[in-house]
Amino acid sequence: MRHFSIRFFLSSVTALLLLMSAARANDGIGEIGVGGVIAYGKTDKVTMRKEVLEIGTDRIDVAYEFVNESDVPVTLPIVFPLPPYGPGTPSPGYSGQPSGFSLTIDGNTKPFTTSIRAVVPGHKGGEDRDVTHLLTRAGLTQEQIALFPGAFRNSEVDVSPFKDRNVQKVQAVSNDQLKQLRELGLLDLNPNTLRDFVDFPTWSVHIAYHWTATFLPKKVVSVSHSYEPFLGVGSSQPLNPSNIQDEKKLKDIFCGSASLLKHLRSTTSSDGWIPGATVSYILTTANTWNGPIRDFTLRIRKSKPSEVISLCFPGKFSKVNSLTFESHLKDFSPNENLLIKYLLPGNQEAYPYAGKHGESTVPVMNRTLKP
C-alpha cells in the first residue's frame, strides 16, 4: 500500500491532523453461529455501490448504498463488528458498547441484535479460546463480561482501568463467582495493585451488531449508522516528538511525515508531551460484498483547527474546511483497517480527550494531514 504525506496551511493557525483512536467497522456479510461466533461469508450478488465514512473523536457516521445485481431477491445476515478490547487496553472509556449506535435502512430506523463474546487470546501462537459459555455458566451478565474489570472489586475499591461511568452501574461479581473463575483460569493476579490482590480478567471482549436485510433485484438499498466512537485516551496516547521511540511509532504506525514531526517539535519543548487519542475502524469487512467499493469517500474531522491528525491511507486528501479533510477513491478494495492518531499541540491538559463522551464509551492505512 502506498503511503502519502500531505500538507495544508491555514491562514490563521497551522494545524495538523493526527490519528485519533475511535474504532468501528464496515458492514460485512456473516451469521451468528453457536456460542456467538461470527462466521463471515461473501456474496457474489450484492454490491456496495457507495460508501461515505466520516470519522471524528465525537462521532462516526457511515452511509452505504447497496445494489442487488442479480435477478432474484437476496436475503443476507449482516454483521457490524467492533474492534475487540482487553484488560491490557490502556484507555479510560474503552469498554462496553458505543454510545448512541443507530441503524437506518432506506431512511427508516431498524432494530438490531447485540452479541458479546469473551475470548482468551492464544498463548505463543496457540488458538484463541471462546469462554463466553463459561462466564455465563458462572452467572456473569453481558454487562459484567463487557465492562470488566470494573465489575470486580477488592476491599470495596473499584480496580477498573476503564473510567467509564457505566462500570459503576454494574453489579459486582460475587465471591463464589470469583472462586469459579479462578478455578477455570479466567482470572489473573494483577501485579500493579498495591492493595492485597486483584482479580484481573484474562479475556478480550468481542462485540458485534447484527441484523437481516433483503435486497430486491436492481434496487438501491441505503443503510446508515451513527455512534460515538471508542477513544484510546490512556497513558500511552501522549507523544513527545523529540523522543526517538515516539518518533518511530508515529512514522511506523501512523505514517507520520518529516514535516509533521518538524511542526510538532516547533510547538513543543524537548521534554514536553502532546496530548493524544486514537480511533480505529474495521474497514476490510467491505470485501465480503461483491467486488470492490465502487465509490468510497473518507472524511476525517478535527475537533478544533489546531488539532493534528495522522493515518496511513492509499488516497490523497483535500481540505473541505478548517475542520474536515476528504479522500475519494473509485473501485476501492481495502487491505488494511484504519488507525487514526489525533494530537492537540499546545494543550495544557494531560488528557483532554478523556471523559469527552457523557455516559458511555466502548468498543477505523495511515496518513498525515497537515493544514
pLDDT in tens, 97-129: 667 788 999 999 999 988 889 999 887 778 999
Q: Which is higher by pLDDT, 164 or 65?
A: 65
Q: What is the mean pLDDT of the chain?
A: 75
Name the H helices within the chain: 132-137, 142-146, 175-183, 244-254, 258-266
* Ranges of each domain in the chain: 5-116+208-370, 132-202
pLDDT in tens, 158-207: 445 444 455 556 677 787 888 898 899 888 765 554 444 556 788 888 88
| Phi, psi (degrees; rounded to nearest 5) at 197 | -130, 160
pLDDT computed for residue 242 by the predictor: 79
Name the grid cell of 217: 433485484
Cis, peptide link before residue 275, omega less than 30° from 0 = no
Could you tell me the pLDDT band of residue 346, with boundaries at 50, 70 and 90? confident
Other CB atoms within a 10 A radius of the CB of residue 360 amount to: 19
Other CB atoms within a 10 A radius of the CB of residue 54 amount to: 17
**pLDDT at 133 exceeding the cut of 70:** yes
How many degrees, rounded to 5, is the angle at CA 89 between CA 85 and CA 90? 155
Q: What is the CATH number of domain 5-116+208-370?
A: 2.60.40.3680
pLDDT computed for residue 29 by the predictor: 58
Name the grid cell of 246: 515516539
Three-state DSSP at 280 gives strand
- Of 112, 116, 168, nearest to 142 by C-alpha is 116
Three-state DSSP at 62 gives strand
**pLDDT at 84 exceeding the cut of 70:** yes
pLDDT in tens, 245-276: 888 888 888 898 888 888 888 887 666 788 88
Contacts of residue 2, defined as CB under 8 A and 6 or more positions apart, other chains included, come to 314
User: Residue length, the chain?
Assistant: 371
pLDDT computed for residue 320 by the predictor: 95
pLDDT computed for residue 318 by the predictor: 94
Name the grid cell of 220: 438501491
228 burial type by CB count under 10 A (0-12 exposed, 13-18 middle, 19+ buried) = buried
Predicted TM-score (pTM) of the model is 0.75
